[in-house]
Structure 1
Amino acid sequence: MISFYKKYWRTAFDIALIVLTVYLFMLLFSYLYRIATPIFLALIIFMMIEPFARFLNRKGMRKSIASAISTVLFVLIILGALTGAAVIFTSQIMSLVDKVDDYQAVFNDQIIHKISELNDRFQTLPPDVIIKAKEYAGQFAGNASRFIISFLSGLVASLTSFSTFMFNFIVGIILAYFLSIEIDSWKRLASEKTPRTFKSVFFFLKENVVKGIVSYVKAQLKLITLTFVVVFFALLLLNVNNAFSISLLSAIFDVLPLLGVSTLFIPWIIYLFIVGQTTLAIWLSALLLVVILVRQIMEPKITGESLGVSAFTTLAFMIVSLSLFGVAGVILSPVLIILLKALYTQGYFQRWIRKPEDEYAQGRSPSAGP
């Protein structure tokens, strides 16, 4: 054991130092996100309004006027679309919540009916087993309905708590407008006052991380938009109620690695088979297969190498980040994944982490022949 520690302590120390640095960075970001949420929103809004403001400025318009026009258009288009979608989504989700108890009753009755039908056919089940099966079926249906109501109500509550969000959003718009006006002076100040070491770090992040994040976000937006459109029009053709909210939920689930739309569709399909709506269940199964196939075909073409990390690694990192740092951790986790991948690709980890002595053959690969 002592020889093991002697051989690996330097490597363990280097890895622990990197892990500690990542942890402290995420801790700092989560703290700053809590106290300065409008500033982070302002940076996102700035990236949206600045291209059009620069375009108008190049056409001869004053930057202040160009930024004002771009900001007004952003508010009218983006905020208007989001508000309309939120209103429709909230009303449809609330109607689903009101019907969950009815769905539970139908599900419970069908389970009891099928158990009784099986018992009448085979006459092999003891009476106490039948009673217990009916009791467990009722408990399962009750727990499932409570979970669904809690989940949907939580979504509605997050959308309807507008006070804090609207305050942060309005302050973010104002900050983004002033940043758009003053961006040239901020760039000059950063160019003149920033030390060379920090400049090199900034350019490394810009080339290897920022571009990766932008391409990743664009790719995910394209994929979830594709999922939303396919599901929405399919549900309209099938005359399914609340098609918009279900399609929007499918797009939200589609963002989650490893989970996807199956998280929503598979329980729904199983429920339809149990309650006897076989035709709709078959059509939804076909729709799920189409969505999965379309994503499998389009994802490599759209995403390319934007993230380049396995789905398991991404989801595991997001879960740990959510547990440790909340929403800020989920926001930052793709950034850190791309950063760590860039550091590994550029060879920084190989230089920072000292390998154990006599553990790796020098001068040839372990798979090389004698």
Structure 2
Amino acid sequence: MQDKRKIRIALIMLGATVFVFLTFRYLLPYVYPFILAYFLVVAIMPVVKFLNHKLKLPKSIGALITLLLLVVILCLILCFVGVKVAQQARMLIRNLPIYQSVVLSNMNDGCNCLEKIFELSKGTVLNIVQKNVNDFLISIESNIMPMMTEQTLSIVLKAVGVFTVIFIILLAVILIIQDLDSMKMYYENFIFYKELHIVISKLAEAGIAYLRAQGILMLITASICTGGLFLIGNKYALLIGIVIGIFDAFPVLGSGFILVPWAIILLLTKNIYQAAIILTVYLLCQLTRQFLEPKLLGNRIGIKPIFTLMSMYLGVNFFGVVGFILGPIALVLIIAIVKSLCPELEMKSIVKTNKNEKMNILKFWKKH
């Protein structure tokens, strides 16, 4: 009996994994605008209801006004940030030869030390470093710069595609809000409502909480880093701040992957003030994540960092850059499906599930 139960659980886990993979690979590219539209409806619905109750505006008109204001605000922010990041990226690429000479001059002493330790002839280590740096710069000049200048047409076509998707999402939002009540009734009368409701509620609780928490934390971290780099007069404060904010979302790596080595280099080069600012920025990022992450997530995710990192790695390999987000969502969805089909299962090796959550799942299952 125990063996049959194990085989059943293993088959359910395998089936859930295959189902999620195939859905993300083949179905998601065609339906993601409507999924995003639904999440946008959930986000703006409080404002739409407020306009409907207080100003007696129809929900479709309230949704249109809310969306227009949201689009204008987001466009202004994205245009400002995008222009600044593009300017700083171009400046960084143009100034790479200057930074090369500065880095090589600072590394000269270190290379001499290594040559003495390993009893190498003078200039051996430095020549190797110079060759690698020159190859890196040549690859940038031959690949990245032509791509930025010669692929204007493809960039324009992609931009048109993005705007088309955005238009479809906005139109879908208005249509969903118009028929929200009838869609809800249809959903509640659906034959697989019980099973879908358990999975979707768990995914909404965990998946949305994860995305919202990571988005807020990345934004705050990027803002702290940008402000700190601005204080030390860094020309690429916004660009580097955004990069560090993205790195901070990775388990284990975090902002310290960039900030700590940077601070050490500044200390070795006797830039005490800049090193102190960088270390302060790192501490603020760590304190912010430690303080806000439990409040934003609570016990709704509970996935151990190693499994989050594995899901990100697999996601990037299967789905490209967007897999950085899809990987953890896929893991949350797989766990939600398995829990819905095996409510008695305690996934101790993967999920930190507290007693209240277990009882709520079992009560919900028995009730329905």
Counterpart of 1:191 in structure 2 is: 188
- Confirm or deny: 8 A CA contact 1:224 1:252 kept in the other structure: yes
1 CA distance for matches of 2:28 and 2:322? 7
1:283 equivalent among 255, 277, 283: 277
**Which 10-residue stretch deviates more, 62-71 or 325-334?**
325-334
Measured against aligned partners, the alpha-carbon deviations of 1:44-97 in whole angstroms (never above 9, x if no partner) come to: 333333331222223321122112111211211223222322222222222122
3-state secondary structure, aligned to 1:260: coil
> CA 1:344–1:191 in structure 2 vs 1: closer, same or farther (change >3 Å)?
closer
The 3 A distance-change label for structure 1 pair 151 and 96 is farther
Contact 1:42 1:173 in 2 (8 A): yes
Distance 1:211 1:150, change over 3 A: farther
Provide the residue aligned with 1:175 in structure 2. Answer: 172
1:103-182 map, 5 Å: 103-116=99-112, 129-142=121-134, 161-182=158-179
What residue number does 1:260 align with?
A: 254
Deviation at 1:118, TM superposition (A): 8.3
Q: Structure 1 residues 201, 335: closer, same or farther in 2, change over 3 A?
A: farther
Quick one: distance in 2 between partners of 1:323 and 1:182? 39
2:77 to 62, 69, 81: 81
| AA at the equivalent of 1:288 | Y
In structure 2, the partner of 1:365 is: none
> Cα RMSD (Å) of the superposition?
3.8
Which of 287, 292, 296 is 2:290 aligned to?
Answer: 296
Q: Normalising to structure 2: TM-score of the pair?
A: 0.77
The count of aligned residue pairs is 340
Matching residue of 1:214: 208
Secondary structure of the 2:251 match is coil
User: What secondary structure sits across from 2:95 in the alignment?
Assistant: helix
| Structure 1 partner of 2:98 | 102
1:72 to 68, 73, 83: 68
Q: Residues of 2 paired with 1:75 and 1:230: CA distance?
A: 25
Q: Report the TM-score when normalising by structure 1.
A: 0.76
Secondary structure of the corresponding residue to residue 235 of structure 2:
coil
User: In the alignment, is the contact (CA less than 8 A) between 1:53 and 1:70 conserved in 2?
Assistant: yes
Q: Which has the larger radius of gyration?
A: 1
Deviation at 1:266, TM superposition (A): 4.0
CA contact (8 A) 1:38 1:171 kept: yes
Q: Is this contact kept in 1: 2:20–2:334, CA < 8 A?
A: no
Partner in structure 2 of residue 318 of structure 1: 312
Do 2:16 and 2:337's aligned partners in 1 also have CA atoms closer than 8 Å?
no
- State the percentage of identical aligned residues: 23
Distance 2:40 2:50 in 1: 16
Per the alignment, residue 356 of structure 2 pairs with none
CA 65–298 in structure 1, closer or farther in 2 if over 3 Å, else same:
closer
Matched residue, 2:219: 225
| Structure 2 unaligned residues grouped into runs of 5+ | 348-368
- Shift of the 243–105 alpha-carbon distance from structure 1 to 2, 3 Å rule, reads same
Q: How does 1:22-41 map to 2 (within 5 A)?
A: 22-41=17-36
Judging changes above 3 Å, is the alpha-carbon distance between structure 1 residues 29 and 125 closer, same or farther for their aligned structure 2 residues?
closer
Structure 1 gap ranges (5+): 1-6, 354-370
Instruction: After TM superposition, list the pairs within 5 Å mapping 1:57-68 onto structure 2.
Output: 57-59=52-54, 60-68=56-64
Residue 326 of structure 1 aligns to a residue whose secondary structure is helix
- Contact kept? 1:41, 1:168, Cα under 8 Å: no
CA distance in 1, matches of 2:260, 2:99: 16
The answer on whether the counterparts of 1:26 and 1:329 sit within 8 Å (CA) in structure 2 is no
CA distance in 2, matches of 1:78, 1:9: 54
Could you tell me how far apart the structure 2 residues matched to 1:47 and 1:82 are? 22
Q: Distance in 1 between matches of 2:250 and 2:139?
A: 19
C-alpha separation in 2, matches of 1:36 and 1:240:
42
Instruction: Identify which range, 138-147 or 316-325, moves more after superposition.
Output: 138-147
Counterpart amino acid of 1:244?
Answer: L
